[in-house]
């Protein structure tokens, strides 16, 4: 049996797990690990320029592949810089292992240089964490960490390693499997509950399928599509679920929630049987539970995490299990019993939804003088044939990306949905590009978000990641400005950026290609050039100077219901509560 140092064990464990990339930044507490990395060739290390970016890149590497992301940071500030990335992954249930360095075991608790209690700091934002004080426990900790990160509801796991543990030696043997007491992730759903769900769907007059990020992470896109086609019912995706059903599918009624489509939100409010798949009814989706439940409906909720079920709304049929397995079984039951919603009732339900679709809530007024941000995203979709992997930061540009880029498959849309992390987009694009070297990767960002991790343009240059950056630059923190306009009497307190840099020169300084686009007529030519074969291997930064007055519609204000949207100008005055005074819901169908 081999005797290895702790640092060598770390690299061997990562090799045993088939890790391809480690995103990290060295420091004193992890120098032994970096020395071991130098002496191996089975995985590559990506030297980022900030620890937060390391975790975001590892996160997106995981989101755009089926692998566990891995990040490596040093102790103290290195570890705390990683916390935002860890929280981002935790909120969106992304499988990740973060290795942090720690001061020597004899110095723990003595306020040593660069000491921070990483286990304590990260406890609320990880699925699990380890402080490994004995080198003999290191291999088992890694095996458990990868197992926990990717099973059940995925999430980040932190392994905190004191420096002396990386130096000490012991016999190395990587466990083939681990058993963790009290941790038994569910797989198959309860057969009786699945039969109840099938029966409810067959009795429905206004059925609706509501798909969240759990279906994307659970690899259930094909099953979602098969269920929708089998039943012929309308389907909506959350922000995190985009791509679970093809955005061009006629049964897709658009994203729902705070900036969801008119038809998706009203269908959510007025359906009579709702099947929720890997979704958690969060506040940005249903707003106020009492308003959401003011119209009677029966709810089937499928989720791998039992704590997510009935957390915010009463559920009639809870099904705990892997969404892919549960949907496979549900489809089999529906086929076996030939159970389908009543065709006449379903036809009437579609008639109503198509009425809601007619006004086209995403319609905006084009301009020949000002660049409309929606037009940039639409043109990106056309030029990339809807095939690009798209990352985003957080704000108005994020919502326009979600609304106007019709995502065709799971793992194509990568953004921070739960935590809403500015600075996510560029390092995420970098991680997605490394995971998918032949794919077109576009980062849709804003001038505020991009400046939070703009230093990663340097990493992109070093590792030849030719992502295309589209900055929708309206000189404001756009979503903050929109809220100040709507709710604070247009008092734009500290949301205007008066001293923006020349982004083209910044891109060029890092060795990339930059364009400033101020004329709407130049949007299409520049996008075509950026995605042309001539610039295929180059990072291109496009600074689109967009209309600063543009707002994201529809919008649901905090405390309002799904049928109380703020609508775009051409829909103002439209009735949004067609059934509120009509308690005979059977008349609808």
Q: 156 forms bridges with which residues in the sheet?
A: 96
Tell me if 129 sits within 8 A of 158, measured CB to CB.
yes
Catalytic residue among 163, 324, 411, 468: 163
Active-site hit among 38, 113, 486, 487: 113
Q: What is the dihedral of CA 482, 488, 491, 492, to 10 degrees?
A: -30
Q: How far apart are CA 464 and CA 67, in angstroms?
A: 21
Integer Cα distance of 482 and 130 in angstroms: 43
Q: What DSSP letter does each residue of 508-542 carry, written as one string?
A: HHTT-EEEEE-SGGGHHHHHHHHTSGGGTTS-EEE
Cβ(556)–Cβ(399) below 8 Å:
no
Question: Of 91, 255, 479, 565, which one is the catalytic site residue?
Answer: 479
Catalytic site residue 503?
no
Q: Which class for 538: exposed (0-12), middle (13-18), buried (19 or more C-beta within 10 A)? A: middle
Establish whether 412 is a catalytic residue: no
What is residue 554's DSSP assignment? Answer: S
Question: Residue 475 corresponds to which tokens in the numbers above?
Answer: 């000189």
* Whether 405 contacts 383, CB under 8 Å: no
Catalytic residue among 16, 43, 114, 529: 114
d(CA 518, CA 472): 11
Residues 301 and 229: their CA atoms lie apart, in Å, by: 20
Distance CA 541, CA 538 (A): 10
Unique residue bearing structure tokens 């049987």: 273
Give the angle subtended at the CA of 346 by the CAs of 343 and 351, to the nearest 5°. 125
Q: Evaluate whether 401 touches 420 at the Cβ level (below 8 Å).
A: no
Rg of the chain in Å (alpha carbons): 25
Separation of alpha carbons 420 and 323, rounded Å: 25
Helix H or strand E encompassing 469: strand 468-473
Is 114 annotated in the active site? Answer: yes
Element (H, E) at 392: strand 389-392
Q: How far apart are CA 23 and CA 29, in angstroms?
A: 16
Q: How far apart are CA 356 and CA 222, in angstroms?
A: 28
Q: Considering 8, 17, 32, 51, which one is annotated as catalytic?
A: 51
Instruction: Convert 398-466 into a string of H (helix), E (strand) and C (coil).
Output: HHHHHHHCCCCCCCCEECCCCCCCCCCHHHHHHHHHHHCCCCCEEEEECHHHHCCCCCHHHHHHHCCCC
For residue 163, indicate whether it is catalytic.
Answer: yes
Catalytic center residues: 51, 113-114, 163, 479
């Amino acid at each position: 049996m081999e005797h290895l140092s702790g640092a060598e064990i770390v690299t061997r464990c990562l090799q045993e797990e088939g890790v391809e990339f480690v995103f990290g930044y060295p420091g004193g507490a992890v120098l032994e690990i970096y020395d071991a990395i130098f002496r191996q060739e089975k995985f590559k290390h990506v030297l980022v320029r900030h620890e937060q970016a390391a975790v975001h890149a590892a996160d997106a590497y995981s989101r755009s592949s089926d692998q566990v992301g891995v990040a490596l940071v040093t102790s103290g500030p290195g570890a705390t810089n990683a916390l935002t990335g860890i929280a981002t992954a935790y909120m969106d249930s992304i499988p990740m292992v973060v290795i942090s360095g720690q001061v020597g075991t004899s110095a723990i608790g003595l306020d040593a240089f660069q000491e921070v209690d990483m286990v304590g700091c990260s406890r609320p934002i990880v699925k699990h964490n380890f402080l490994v004080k004995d080198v003999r426990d290191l291999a088992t900790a890694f095996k458990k960490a990868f197992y926990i990160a990717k099973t059940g509801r995925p999430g980040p796991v932190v392994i905190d390693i004191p420096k002396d543990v990386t130096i000490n030696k012991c016999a190395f043997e990587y466990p083939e499997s681990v058993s963790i007491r009290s941790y038994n992730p569910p797989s198959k759903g309860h057969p009786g509950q699945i039969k109840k769900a099938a029966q409810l769907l067959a009795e429905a007059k206004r059925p609706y399928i509501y798909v969240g990020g759990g279906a994307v992470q659970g690899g259930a896109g094909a099953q979602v599509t098969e269920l929708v086609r089998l039943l012929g019912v309308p389907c909506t995706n959350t922000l995190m679920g985009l791509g679970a059903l093809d955005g061009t599918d006629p049964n897709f009624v658009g994203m729902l929630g705070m900036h969801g489509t008119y038809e998706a939100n009203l269908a959510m409010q007025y359906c009579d049987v709702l099947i929720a798949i890997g979704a958690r009814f969060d506040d940005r989706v249903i707003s106020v539970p009492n308003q959401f439940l003011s119209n009677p409906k029966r709810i089937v909720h499928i989720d791998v995490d039992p704590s997510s079920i009935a957390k915010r709304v009463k559920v009639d049929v809870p099904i705990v299990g892997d969404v892919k397995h549960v949907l496979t079984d549900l489809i089999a039951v529906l086929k076996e019993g030939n159970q389908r919603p009543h065709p006449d009732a379903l036809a009437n339900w579609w008639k109503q939804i198509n009425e809601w679709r007619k006004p086209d809530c995403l319609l905006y007024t084009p301009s020949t003088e000002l660049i409309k941000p929606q037009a940039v995203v639409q043109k990106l979709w056309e030029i990339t044939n809807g095939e690009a992997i798209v990352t985003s930061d957080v704000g108005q540009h994020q919502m326009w990306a979600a609304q106007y880029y019709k995502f065709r498959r799971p793992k194509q849309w990568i953004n921070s949905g739960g935590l809403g992390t500015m600075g996510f987009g560029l390092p995420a694009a970098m991680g997605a590009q490394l995971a998918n070297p032949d794919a077109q990767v576009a980062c849709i960002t804003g001038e505020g978000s991009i400046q939070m991790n703009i230093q990663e343009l340097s990493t992109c240059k070093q590792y030849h990641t030719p992502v295309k950056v589209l900055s929708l630059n309206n000189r404001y923190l756009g979503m903050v400005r929109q809220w100040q306009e709507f709710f604070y009497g247009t008092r734009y307190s500290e949301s205007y950026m008066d001293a923006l840099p020349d982004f083209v020169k910044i891109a060029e300084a890092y060795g990339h290609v930059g364009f400033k686009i101020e004329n709407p007529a130049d949007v299409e030519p520049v996008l075509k050039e950026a995605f042309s074969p001539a610039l295929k291997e180059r990072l291109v930064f496009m600074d689109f100077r967009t209309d600063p007055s543009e707002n994201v519609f529809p919008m649901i204000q905090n405390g309002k219901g799904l049928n109380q949207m703020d609508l775009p100008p051409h829909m103002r005055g439209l009735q949004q509560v067609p059934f509120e005074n009509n308690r005979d819901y059977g008349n609808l169908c």
